[in-house]
Amino acid sequence: NAGVTQTPKFQVLKTGQSMTLQCAQDMNHEYMSWYRQDPGMGLRLIHYSVGAGITDQGEVPNGYNVSRSTTEDFPLRLLSAAPSQTSVYFCASSEDLIGNSPLHFGNGTRLTVT
Amino acid sequence: GESVGLHLPTLSVQEGDNSIINCAYSNSASDYFIWYKQESGKGPQFIIDIRSNMDKRQGQRVTVLLNKTVKHLSLQIAATQPGDSAVYFCAEIPETGANNLFFGTGTRLTVIP
Is B62 in CB contact (< 8 Å) with chain A?
A: no
More confident site: B30 or B61: B61
Q: Residues B94, B98, B104, B105: what is their CA dihedral angle, to the nearest 10 degrees?
A: -140
Q: How far apart are CA B108 and CA B113, in angstroms?
A: 16
Closest CA to A111 of A19, A4, A5, A42: A19
Count of CB atoms within 10 A of residue B27's CB? 12
Say if residue A99's pLDDT is above 80.
Answer: no
Nearest beta carbon to residue B99 from set A44, A98, A108: A98
Spell out which residues of chain B touch residue A49, defining contact as CB-CB under 8 Å.
none
Say if residue A65's pLDDT is above 50.
Answer: yes
Distance (Å) from the alpha carbon of A36 to chain B's nearest alpha carbon: 11
Model pLDDT, residue B7: 43
Spell out which residues of chain A touch residue B32, defining contact as CB-CB under 8 Å.
98-99
Say if residue B5's pLDDT is above 50.
Answer: no
Model pLDDT, residue B93: 85
Q: How far apart are CA A81 and CA A98, in angstroms?
A: 29
Model pLDDT, residue A1: 62
Model pLDDT, residue B96: 65
Distance (Å) from the alpha carbon of B112 to chain A's nearest alpha carbon: 24
Say if residue A96's pLDDT is above 90.
Answer: no
Closest CA to B42 of A106, A66, A19: A106
pLDDT in tens, B35-94: 999 999 899 999 999 999 999 999 999 999 999 999 999 999 999 999 999 999 999 987
Find out whether A8 and A108 touch, Cβ atoms under 8 Å: no
Under an 8 Å CB criterion, which residues of A touch B? 4, 31, 33, 40-45, 48, 50, 56, 58-59, 90, 92, 97-99, 102-108
> Exposed, middle or buried by CB within 10 Å (0-12, 13-18, 19+), for B42?
middle
Nearest beta carbon to residue B99 from set A4, A41, A48: A48
Determine whether the interchain pair A58/B100 forms a contact, defined as Cβ–Cβ distance below 8 Å.
yes
Q: How much is the average pLDDT of A15-24? A: 97
DSSP state of B84: G
Determine whether the interchain pair B32/A41 forms a contact, defined as Cβ–Cβ distance below 8 Å.
no
Q: Where are the beta strands (DSSP E) in B2-79?
A: 10-14, 19-24, 32-38, 45-51, 56-58, 62-67, 72-77
Q: What is the DSSP string of A62-113?
A: TTEEE--SSSSB--EEESS--GGG-EEEEEEEESS-TTTS--EE---EEEEE
Model pLDDT, residue B71: 92
Q: How far apart are CA A11 and CA B99, in angstroms?
A: 28
- A32's enclosing H/E stretch is strand A31-37
Distance (Å) from the alpha carbon of A105 to chain B's nearest alpha carbon: 6
Peptide bond into B113 cis (omega under 30): no
Spell out which residues of chain A touch residue B64, defining contact as CB-CB under 8 Å.
none
More confident site: A80 or B97: A80
Say if residue B1's pLDDT is above 60.
Answer: no
More confident site: B23 or B105: B23
| % residues pLDDT > 70 (chain A) | 99
Find out whether B67 and B52 touch, Cβ atoms under 8 Å: no
Say if residue A104's pLDDT is above 50.
Answer: yes
Say if residue A50's pLDDT is above 50.
Answer: yes
pLDDT in tens, A22-33: 999 999 999 999
Nearest beta carbon to residue A107 from set B43, B91, B93: B43
Q: How far apart are CA A70 and CA B78, in angstroms?
A: 42
Model pLDDT, residue B2: 37
